[in-house]
């Protein structure tokens, strides 16, 4: 935890949580208590008068369809070494996802890392990502738009600095633009984009909200500036304001449809700053409520793109419960949600 001592100390010094809350959040699941503030949704004003639930519309035969490419959790490893040991872990958590590197190899290689990646405890080499983009661009020419739901960085989070993160985010986004120059690309943040990252589960970003002291030095403004640089090619200028404030945005790519890119790193139970005041960080869910209500009033449908699914144990229950209430309230308006993070192709039921 050496790399994160400053953040942990700052959060613990300023928190109002009880010791059992801290135990539940960071140490042992189940050591807290049922009425812990972490398990209770914070006050969130959700408009009443929910319209009657409508049956899902069935498009008439022959209606046009759209083809969408969804990319997530790319995790490019710049230190990937072809021929190195791909099966280096031997059950040790400290080497999780760090195989396929020269420093983690032995003199007798049992599973050599392949040129284009290896289905083992490894991230991927850049050449695999680039060749994948090249193949898709030539074999799937009719893609209408692309959504990218976060996590470009490799899992060696202690090695990531602001400069290397900036280079990686720009490089990977530019590669997507290179192979899909005329196809809109819409992004959301992953938990691996922040610096510093988590030291326990190897995938936490630490995003400070505006309400904490020292926001100017501890906040993610440096990262939001990169997002504002790399995300906005296909976005209206109005998106920049909310990207720079909370790392989220909304816009209308088509008539009758709103896209909402939601920063769910504020729900991460490893985002230490969230424990200083368990509340709506940067009023993110309040903002989402207003966006959904606006679309309901206009008769629009909404697609939400984000990274951490609210149903994941990675997301604190206080956030998840409020998010669920919003999905329930606006079920006529929210037509689809797209997440990443779990590294599994799956569906969630609400």
Q: Is the dihedral of CA 319, 325, 329, 333 positive or negative?
A: positive
Provide the pLDDT for residue 201: 34
Q: Tell me if residue 284 falls in helix, strand or coil.
A: helix
**Mean pLDDT, residues 64-92 taken together:** 88
Share above pLDDT 90 across residues of the chain, in percent, rounded to a whole number: 55
Provide the pLDDT for residue 198: 37
Instruction: For residue 113, count CB atoms less than 10 angstroms from its CB and return exposed for 0-12, middle for 13-18, buried for 19 or more.
Output: buried
Q: Tell me 247's DSSP state.
A: S
Cβ atoms 321, 310 nearer than 8 A: no
Provide the pLDDT for residue 121: 85
Tokens of 35: 């009425």
Average pLDDT taken over every residue of the chain: 85
Cβ atoms 68, 257 nearer than 8 A: no
| Res. 172: pLDDT tops 70 | yes
Q: Is the dihedral of CA 232, 173, 159, 22 positive or negative?
A: positive
Place of tokens 């290896």: 118
**How does strand 185-187 pair with strand 68-71?**
unpaired
Provide the pLDDT for residue 95: 47
At 190-229, the pLDDT tens digits run 988 876 543 333 334 567 777 677 777 777 889 999 999 9
Q: 160-164, 178-182, 192-196: lowest mean pLDDT where?
A: 192-196
Beta strands in the chain, from DSSP E residues, in sequence order: 68-71, 145-148, 185-187, 249-254, 257-261, 301-305, 334-338
**How does strand 249-254 pair with strand 257-261?**
antiparallel
| Cβ atoms < 10 Å from Cβ of 76 | 21
* pTM recorded for the entire structure: 0.87
Share above pLDDT 70 across residues of the chain, in percent, rounded to a whole number: 80
Instruction: Tell me how far CA of residue 220 lies from CA of 1, 224, 320, 330, in angstroms.
Output: 20, 6, 22, 30
Provide the pLDDT for residue 264: 93
Confidence class of residue 62 from pLDDT cuts 50, 70 and 90? very high
Separation of alpha carbons 84 and 105, rounded Å? 6
φ/ψ region of 231 (left if φ > 0, alpha if ψ in -120 to 50, else beta) reads: alpha
| Res. 96: pLDDT tops 60 | no
| Res. 31: pLDDT tops 80 | no
At 277-309, the pLDDT tens digits run 677 888 999 999 999 999 999 999 999 999 999
Confidence class of residue 311 from pLDDT cuts 50, 70 and 90? confident
| Res. 23: pLDDT tops 90 | no
At 267-279, the pLDDT tens digits run 887 776 666 667 7
Separation of alpha carbons 173 and 148, rounded Å? 10
Separation of alpha carbons 278 and 275, rounded Å? 5
Tokens of 314: 């990675």
Strands lying side by side in the sheet with 334-338: 249-254, 257-261, 301-305, 334-338
Q: 67-76, 140-149, 167-176, 267-276: lowest mean pLDDT where?
A: 267-276
| Res. 150: pLDDT tops 70 | yes
At 322-333, the pLDDT tens digits run 999 999 999 999
Cβ atoms 224, 243 nearer than 8 A: yes
Calculate ∠ Cα 250-289-333, nearest 5°.
75
């Amino acid at each position: 935890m050496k790399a994160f001592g400053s953040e942990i100390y700052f959060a613990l010094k300023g928190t109002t949580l009880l010791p059992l809350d801290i135990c539940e959040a960071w140490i042992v699941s189940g050591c807290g208590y049922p009425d812990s503030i972490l398990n209770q949704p914070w006050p969130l004003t959700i408009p009443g008068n929910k319209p009657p639930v409508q049956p899902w519309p069935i498009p008439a035969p022959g209606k046009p369809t759209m083809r969408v490419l969804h990319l997530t959790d790319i995790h490019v490893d710049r230190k990937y070494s072809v021929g190195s040991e791909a099966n280096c872990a031997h059950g040790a958590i400290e080497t999780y996802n760090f195989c396929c590197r020269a420093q983690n190899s032995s003199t007798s290689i049992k599973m050599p890392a392949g040129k284009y990646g290896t289905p083992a405890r490894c991230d991927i080499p850049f050449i695999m990502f680039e060749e994948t983009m090249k193949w898709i661009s030539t074999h799937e020419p009719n893609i209408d738009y692309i959504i990218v739901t976060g996590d470009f960085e490799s899992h060696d989070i202690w090695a990531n600095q602001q400069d290397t993160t900036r280079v990686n985010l720009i490089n990977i986004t530019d590669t997507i633009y290179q192979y899909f120059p005329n196809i809109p690309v819409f992004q959301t943040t992953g938990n691996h984009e922040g610096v510093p990252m988590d030291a326990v589960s190897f995938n936490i970003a630490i995003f400070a909200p505006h309400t904490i002291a020292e926001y100017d030095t501890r906040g993610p403004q440096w990262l939001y500036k990169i997002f504002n640089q790399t995300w906005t090619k296909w976005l209206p200028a109005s998106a920049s304001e909310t990207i720079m404030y909370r790392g989220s945005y909304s816009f209308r790519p088509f008539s009758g449809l709103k896209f909402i890119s939601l920063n769910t790193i504020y729900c991460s139970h490893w985002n230490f700053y969230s424990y200083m005041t368990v509340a709506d960080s940067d009023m993110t869910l309040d903002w989402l409520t207003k966006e959904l209500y606006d679309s309901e009033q206009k008769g629009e449908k909404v697609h939400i793109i984000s990274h951490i699914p609210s149903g994941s144990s990675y997301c604190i229950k206080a956030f998840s419960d409020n998010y669920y209430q919003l999905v329930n309230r606006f079920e006529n308006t929210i037509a689809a949600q797209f997440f990443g993070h779990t590294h599994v192709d799956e569906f969630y039921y609400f």
